[in-house]
């Protein structure tokens, strides 16, 4: 059966529109993936949303970026948190698996690799925090917290402790 030229053109036009929409969708998805994995974008997001909360707690950070794991997990590259006078926390990597928001933030597991906590800095931070009235209403429910290599330093009782946990 012969189709009219109008029907042929409308079929070709419909096919071109579908292909254009598919190419546009793939382009947007690839741009989003590139956007999420860009260190400059990650640092600007960190500086805009996380750093102000750290400043309220009198902390600063050295953020190196994160590795996004599809669909809802990520690993924070080496991270250092500082008080005004000392390093509070240093980590090689922190992995947050299956982060979701449903009646509050929830995650199935948090894993810290080679976590070093300065107890003197933590103690002074907690003492300062009790005297200040700034309080944040943030909560996170974690199903599991794994710290395979935790090191506590700077306590007056002992110079350093390394806790190696295997489970």
Q: What is the pTM of this model?
A: 0.68
Provide DSSP, 30-75.
HHHHHHHT-HHHHHHHIIIIIHHHHHHTT-EEEE--EEEETTTEEE
Nearest residue to 46 (alpha-carbon basis) of 70, 63, 32: 63
Angle at 158 between CA 153 and CA 162, to 5 degrees: 50
Structure confidence at residue 164 as a pLDDT band (50, 70, 90): low
What does the buried/exposed string (b/e) look like for 43-82 if buried means 16 or more CB atoms within 10 Å of the residue's CB?
A: eeebeeeebeeeeebebebebebbeeeeeebbbbeebebb
pLDDT tens digits, one per residue of 103-117:
888 889 999 888 898
């Amino acid at each position: 059966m012969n189709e009219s030229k109008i029907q042929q053109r409308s079929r070709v036009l419909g096919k071109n529109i579908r292909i254009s929409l598919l190419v546009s969708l793939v382009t947007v998805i690839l741009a989003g993936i590139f956007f999420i994995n860009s260190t400059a974008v990650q640092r600007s997001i960190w500086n805009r949303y996380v750093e102000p909360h750290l400043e309220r707690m009198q902390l600063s950070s050295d953020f190196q970026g994160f590795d996004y794991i599809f669909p809802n997990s990520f690993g924070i590259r080496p991270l250092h948190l500082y008080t005004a006078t000392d390093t509070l926390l240093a980590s090689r990597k922190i992995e947050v698996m299956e982060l979701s928001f449903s009646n509050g933030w929830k995650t199935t597991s948090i894993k810290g690799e080679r976590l070093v906590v300065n107890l003197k800095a933590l103690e002074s931070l907690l003492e300062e925090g009790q005297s200040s009235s700034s309080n944040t209403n943030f909560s996170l429910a974690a199903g599991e917290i794994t710290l395979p290599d935790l090191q506590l330093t700077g306590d007056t009782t002992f110079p350093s402790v390394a806790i190696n946990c295997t489970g």
